[in-house]
Amino acid sequence: MLGQDGGGETHAVSLRWRDGREESLSVGPDETVVDAAGAAGVGLPYGCLYGACGTCTGKLLSGDVEHAAEPRALKPRHRDVGYVLLCLAEPRSACRIEVGARVQADLVPNPWK
Protein backbone atom coordinates (compact mmCIF):
# COMPACT_ATOMS: atom_id res chain seq x y z
CA MET A 1 0.00 0.00 0.00
CA LEU A 2 1.36 3.44 -0.83
CA GLY A 3 1.66 5.98 1.93
CA GLN A 4 -0.39 9.14 1.79
CA ASP A 5 2.52 11.10 0.33
CA GLY A 6 2.99 8.47 -2.39
CA GLY A 7 6.67 8.18 -1.53
CA GLY A 8 6.65 4.99 0.49
CA GLU A 9 4.63 2.24 1.99
CA THR A 10 2.34 2.11 4.98
CA HIS A 11 2.51 -1.10 6.98
CA ALA A 12 0.11 -2.81 9.36
CA VAL A 13 1.68 -3.36 12.78
CA SER A 14 0.12 -5.57 15.43
CA LEU A 15 1.20 -4.83 19.01
CA ARG A 16 0.85 -7.54 21.65
CA TRP A 17 1.19 -7.13 25.42
CA ARG A 18 1.89 -10.08 27.71
CA ASP A 19 -1.46 -9.58 29.46
CA GLY A 20 -3.16 -10.56 26.21
CA ARG A 21 -4.11 -7.08 24.99
CA GLU A 22 -3.56 -6.37 21.30
CA GLU A 23 -3.73 -3.22 19.18
CA SER A 24 -3.26 -2.65 15.48
CA LEU A 25 -1.61 0.37 13.89
CA SER A 26 -0.95 1.65 10.43
CA VAL A 27 2.62 2.99 10.30
CA GLY A 28 3.52 5.35 7.49
CA PRO A 29 6.76 5.65 5.56
CA ASP A 30 9.61 7.03 7.66
CA GLU A 31 7.37 6.91 10.74
CA THR A 32 8.43 5.12 13.91
CA VAL A 33 6.22 2.72 15.82
CA VAL A 34 6.21 5.04 18.86
CA ASP A 35 5.11 8.00 16.73
CA ALA A 36 2.34 6.00 15.02
CA ALA A 37 1.14 4.63 18.36
CA GLY A 38 1.01 8.13 19.83
CA ALA A 39 -0.96 9.42 16.85
CA ALA A 40 -3.42 6.52 17.26
CA GLY A 41 -3.83 7.09 20.99
CA VAL A 42 -2.07 3.84 21.91
CA GLY A 43 0.20 4.19 24.92
CA LEU A 44 3.67 2.65 24.70
CA PRO A 45 6.47 3.13 27.20
CA TYR A 46 9.24 5.41 25.95
CA GLY A 47 11.86 7.74 27.35
CA CYS A 48 14.59 9.51 25.38
CA LEU A 49 13.22 8.98 21.82
CA TYR A 50 16.74 8.67 20.38
CA GLY A 51 17.70 5.09 21.19
CA ALA A 52 19.79 5.55 24.30
CA CYS A 53 17.55 4.50 27.20
CA GLY A 54 15.83 1.29 26.03
CA THR A 55 12.50 2.10 27.70
CA CYS A 56 10.66 1.45 24.41
CA THR A 57 12.19 -1.98 23.79
CA GLY A 58 9.94 -4.38 21.91
CA LYS A 59 10.48 -7.85 20.52
CA LEU A 60 9.83 -8.38 16.84
CA LEU A 61 7.74 -11.57 16.48
CA SER A 62 7.36 -11.35 12.69
CA GLY A 63 8.07 -8.90 9.90
CA ASP A 64 10.91 -6.53 9.27
CA VAL A 65 11.91 -3.16 10.72
CA GLU A 66 14.88 -0.87 10.27
CA HIS A 67 16.21 1.44 12.95
CA ALA A 68 16.32 5.07 11.80
CA ALA A 69 19.54 5.52 13.83
CA GLU A 70 21.89 3.32 15.83
CA PRO A 71 19.89 1.66 18.65
CA ARG A 72 22.55 2.34 21.29
CA ALA A 73 20.52 0.82 24.14
CA LEU A 74 20.59 -2.64 22.51
CA LYS A 75 23.58 -4.90 22.36
CA PRO A 76 24.16 -6.78 19.09
CA ARG A 77 23.16 -10.04 20.79
CA HIS A 78 19.79 -8.51 21.70
CA ARG A 79 19.19 -7.31 18.12
CA ASP A 80 20.17 -10.75 16.84
CA VAL A 81 17.26 -12.35 18.72
CA GLY A 82 14.69 -9.76 17.64
CA TYR A 83 14.69 -6.95 20.17
CA VAL A 84 14.06 -3.52 18.64
CA LEU A 85 13.74 0.04 19.91
CA LEU A 86 10.30 1.27 18.97
CA CYS A 87 11.34 4.95 19.08
CA LEU A 88 13.64 4.25 16.11
CA ALA A 89 11.90 1.28 14.46
CA GLU A 90 10.46 1.95 11.02
CA PRO A 91 8.52 -1.05 9.64
CA ARG A 92 9.50 -2.35 6.22
CA SER A 93 6.71 -4.96 6.13
CA ALA A 94 3.64 -5.94 8.14
CA CYS A 95 4.86 -6.74 11.67
CA ARG A 96 3.86 -8.31 14.96
CA ILE A 97 5.70 -6.87 17.95
CA GLU A 98 5.58 -7.80 21.64
CA VAL A 99 5.51 -4.56 23.66
CA GLY A 100 5.29 -3.28 27.22
CA ALA A 101 7.65 -2.60 30.12
CA ARG A 102 8.11 -6.30 30.82
CA VAL A 103 9.86 -6.78 27.47
CA GLN A 104 12.68 -4.43 28.49
CA ALA A 105 12.88 -6.26 31.84
CA ASP A 106 13.94 -9.36 29.88
CA LEU A 107 17.15 -7.51 28.99
CA VAL A 108 17.75 -5.68 32.27
CA PRO A 109 16.77 -7.91 35.19
CA ASN A 110 15.75 -6.15 38.40
CA PRO A 111 18.52 -6.79 40.98
CA TRP A 112 16.10 -6.08 43.84
CA LYS A 113 13.81 -9.05 43.23
Q: Is the pLDDT of residue 3 over 60?
A: no
| pLDDT for the residue numbered 16 | 98
Instruction: For residue range 49-88, list pLDDT tens digits in order.
Output: 999 999 999 999 999 999 999 999 999 999 999 999 999 9
Beta strand 89-91 pairing with 65-67:
antiparallel
| pLDDT for the residue numbered 79 | 96
